Amino acid sequence: MTKTRVLTGITTTGTPHLGNYVGAIKPAIEASQRPDVDSFYFLADLHALIKCQDPKRVQQSRLEIAATWLALGLDTDNAVFYRQSDIPEIPELTWMLSCVCAKGLMNRAHAYKAAVAENEELGHQDMDKGVSMGLFGYPVLMAADILMFNANKVPVGRDQIQHIEMARDMGGRFNHLYKGQYFTLPEAVVDDKMEVLNGLDGRKMSKSYNNTIPLFVSEKKLQKLVRKIKTNSLEPGEPKDPDSCTLFQIFSAFASAEETATMRADYENGIGWGEAKDRVFEYLNAHLREPRERYNALLEDPGHIENVLKQGAEKARAEAQPLMERVREVAGLGRFV
């Protein structure tokens, strides 16, 4: 069987929330259990340093994200699960790609252009104020993440398509300069059906809006957060529109088609907001109870998480080391004997 190699990175700067689970974690874990997919999942902790210089936050986020994926059933026998920072070949490849990457390509990167636009808007004389080389060169590191393992497909949001195109550009440039097929040129996979959950205030659930519902908060905290979800002023008995309601959207992202249809009918029949929120809380709590217990147990046993990631790093480096030896050799950096 020919397997499709799929690679996904998770930036370690925050605590996973319901939106992360529905949009990225759940489909990735399901893919990790498929025999026709060769899955690579990594904690993008080098990327985290671009925006976060709080070591405690980065360390805690790495632990929480690793525990989340394991608690939710990531198949680490079938998938390679590793920390980016455990693979020294990745920063080495980043430098090799930097040497074939045009600066003009980096000038067009969305994140850099946004930073320059913000400086211009604020009236700064220096258009690069606050721009680190990490932010500027971020797409090169991302290209190294992908090209290192010759991924065929990279699931991304639409805002990340440019980075996959840049990875193709860098990989193709290296292949052309050194006259060989050293790197597979990846394809971006954008799932337009992927659910984007709204948060407590009705906007997209995002830690930047401070409107998230963390996946594994305590039962009491979960109930409190669900009760904070923004609704309108319609009274019990008045029909309500489920398709414009964050509460219904969150419920339907977890519930079966039959359960969703029942809730939709209850909306049309005028369910009260208090009852609807209680029902959503009870459903989420029941759905998350067992993985929450596994998650808390994993946090209490960081040694187990460390062992899993070390094993993943060994698998990843078994692929990375020979590729880098080949890349060094073709670039003139091979051993003399």
* Residue recorded with tokens 């002023």: 233
Q: What are phi and psi of 318, to 5 degrees?
A: -65, -25
Q: Which residues contact 221 (CB under 8 A, 6 or more apart)?
A: none
CA distance 194 to 287: 20
2 known ligand binder: no
19 known ligand binder: yes
Alpha helices per DSSP H over the chain: 18-20, 26-32, 45-51, 55-71, 89-98, 103-107, 110-121, 133-148, 161-177, 219-227, 246-254, 257-268, 273-299, 302-330
204 known ligand binder: yes
307 known ligand binder: no
148 known ligand binder: no
The amino acid that residue 296 corresponds to is: N
20 known ligand binder: yes
218 known ligand binder: no
Q: Which residues contact 30 (CB under 8 A, 6 or more apart)?
A: none
The answer for 43, left when phi > 0, alpha when psi is -120 to 50, beta otherwise, is beta
278 known ligand binder: no
232 known ligand binder: no
Feature table: binding site: 11-13, 19-20, 145, 157-159, 197, 204-208
Feature table: binding site for ATP: 11-13, 19-20, 157-159, 197, 204-208
Feature table: binding site for L-tryptophan: 145
